Structure 1
Amino acid sequence: MFASSVAMSLLAAVAFAQQLSSTLTQVVDFGPNPRNVSFYIYVPQNLQPKPPILVAPHWCHGTAQQVFEYRSWAAAGDKYGFITIYPNTSNVVDQCWDVSSNATLTHNGGGDSLGIVSMVKWALKRYGGDKDRVFVSGTSSGAMMTNVLVGAYPDVFAAGSAWAGVPFGCFAGDDFDVWSDACASGKIIMTGAEWATLVKKAYPGYSGFRPKLQVLHGTVDTVLYPQNFEEEIKQWTSVFGYSPTRNETTQNTPLEGWTRYRYGPKFEAYSAAGVDHNIPNQDELVLEYFDLKCRRTKKGKCYSRASGHRA
């Protein structure tokens, strides 16, 4: 999966890696981790005070090391002073994340999601990180995990960016390595209210801050069909209480043929015309969306949970 886009960025990624100020480091014994997810972290030498944290889950058949090499997060961390966490699943069969078990889809319930949240909490304590500026972005299985994390742990994350994923709970199957052909092929179709119920059941009684989210999908994706993009839109507009009618449309952004739809201040969706599952990640777009280029010098200056709106 993603062989072509990965190959295109490999040389550039190697160049980035050769210029980094620090190294990718594995951490062990970091807290509750029922599925034995591995924890790798990049901490730049030029770390800003109270640094933000970006979580970057890999795709199926991928690894933490590959995300480190193929994405520019570490180089951006050097420039802007934020920490990046690269989790690595223990699923050796296909390296896909647990986005299906009841445990992972439940707040503090277990699964891969709890292991990743433990990494975040460890890093916040170890480096004096900003608990209001924790973000997550991934592609494919990593995008599914992004949906899971912002859905099940709205108290931890400030925002998410999901590239070619599926709605929260779409793969639900009460096991740790479920592949749902029905979901992948776009056959699971529900109302926005039904989708939102899955999110709200993940953390019963929670009524606090909801992380903002952007979802992006190619129009000719034949791995995770484009209908999943439409279902994500229904799910998250309902969670936020927005109308499913777009209130802003911008064509040819960030690339020719891509269209951005905004539904409210905390949710936007990008449709990439003619793009298959190898959607080319636009790291600059993610950095801007998370406001990770901002160095916090005053309370509320940069985007954070504290400055965000409640949903």
Structure 2
Amino acid sequence: MRSISDTIARLKKPLPPMVRAGDSGRELAPGESSGSNPGALRALLHVPLGLPAGSPLVVVLHGCTQTAASYDHGSGWSELADRFGFAVLFPEQRRANNPNLCFNWFSPEDTRRGSGEVESIREMVVAAVERHRLDPKQVFVTGLSAGGAMTSAMLACHPELFAGGAIIAGLPFGIACGVPEALERMRGRGHDRPNLASRVREASSHRGPWPTVSVWHGSSDATVDVVNAAMIVEQWRGLHRVGEPDTAKRVAGYVHRGWHDAAGRMVVEEYVIAGMGHGTPLATRGDEACGTPGPHMLDAGISSTYRIAAGWGIVPAVAPPRPMETPVTAPALPTRFDPAATINDALRAAGLIRR
């Protein structure tokens, strides 16, 4: 079992510099808030050119030490948005709130309905939907690590706002109050199993329908223990009132389990990526490929970004062939430059010498 000091060291370890927003060819524009922004977060937004009214919105929450732009570059969300037509909202943490740029998922003030960071993100969603005339019934949220834990908080505090959520290397809602408890839960210790679903019910007056939930976690995650994935599944399985998984198969070589409701809709799913550490699983080849490997952005041969979006129904279930770029052909150049021949050719063209 890892020590708390080891977990703290992992969180504080600086990452190699990531790219600027423009390095991916897609700029993130400053977004707006519809209220007072009590969590003092920054809003960034990507809306594809010509996006029609009634399009979906995906809210993406970065992990510790990351920025909105670096996580977008790594995960490929705005790349996918341009390809299939939806908007992406990127709430971004500030160092004044957390020196490691983690969302404060363990702070009661920031994870209570109407308060702190949860309220700031809700205000950003409302503003984006209203300004860009997006579909309020197709709003989704996803995040990595601390962003995954904050995704749990958003789904719990505002279940009426989201049709679905995807939690990557994250933690369940309501399991920590303060940093010491957060570090223990990240290590997989001290979970109170019987009360997981009730903590979501107590977060709001909402009584259903509940958002669908997709859970992704690496089996070798040394920062957030994989037991947390099982806890998230248990939390939402209880809310949806589903029992044992009714589907279990291998997808791209990894175990995928699913839980369907009485209407046949998959309401909870889980991907455990064997051998993967702490990060977002990516595919760098094939029609589903999007994003760029880097720190905590891991080439696992499966695209969590694409498959999450497909589960929400905002991209095709089977990825169409990627559009081909028209090659630019450069003019042919002589293999050898002959000054005398070039001069003679010019004189002949001017009629000054005979051929």
With structure 1 as the length reference, what TM-score do the two structures score?
0.82
Please report how far the alpha carbon of residue 209 of structure 1 lies from its aligned counterpart in structure 2 after TM superposition.
1.9
Please report how far the alpha carbon of residue 75 of structure 1 lies from its aligned counterpart in structure 2 after TM superposition.
1.8
Please report how far the alpha carbon of residue 233 of structure 1 lies from its aligned counterpart in structure 2 after TM superposition.
1.8
Letter of the aligned partner of 1:135 in structure 2?
A: F
Any unmatched runs of 5+ in structure 1? 295-311
Question: How much identity, in percent, do the aligned residues show?
Answer: 24
Matches within 5 A, 1:66-215: 66-90=70-94, 91-108=97-114, 110-173=115-178, 180-191=182-193, 193-203=194-204, 205-215=205-215
Provide the residue aligned with 1:289 in structure 2. Answer: 311
Deviations 1:266-285 (A, max 9, x none): 00111111111134242211
Distance 1:139 1:119, change over 3 A: same
CA distance in 1, matches of 2:181, 2:102: 9
Distance 1:127 1:28, change over 3 A: closer
Matches within 5 A, 1:229-244: 229-243=229-243
Q: CA RMSD in A?
A: 2.4
Aligned to 2:255, which of 255, 259, 268?
A: 259
Deviations 1:209-259 (A, max 9, x none): 21100101111111101111121122111111111x2211012x1x32x10
Contact 2:39 2:118 in 1 (8 A): no
Deviations 1:2-47 (A, max 9, x none): 9xxx98x979x977x22x4xx3111355423112100000111030
SS in structure 2 of the partner of residue 107 of structure 1: coil
Contact 2:201 2:207 in 1 (8 A): no
SS in structure 1 of the partner of residue 108 of structure 2: coil
Please report how far the alpha carbon of residue 171 of structure 1 lies from its aligned counterpart in structure 2 after TM superposition.
2.7
CA distance in 1, matches of 2:209, 2:271: 23
Any unmatched runs of 5+ in structure 2? 1-9, 261-265, 283-302, 317-355
Deviations 1:132-165 (A, max 9, x none): 0001111111111111111111010110111111
With structure 2 as the length reference, what TM-score do the two structures score?
0.72
Structure 1 residue runs of 4+, over 3 Å off?
Answer: none
CA distance in 1, matches of 2:19, 2:66: 14
Q: Which has the higher contact order (CA 8 A, sep 6+)?
A: 1
Distance 1:280 1:40, change over 3 A: same
Contact 1:150 1:157 in 2 (8 A): yes
Contact 1:217 1:226 in 2 (8 A): yes
CA distance in 2, matches of 1:208, 1:237: 13
Letter of the aligned partner of 2:189 in structure 1?
A: K
Provide the residue aligned with 1:60 in structure 2. Answer: 64
Bigger radius of gyration, 1 or 2?
2
Distance 1:248 1:10, change over 3 A: farther
Contact 2:175 2:191 in 1 (8 A): no
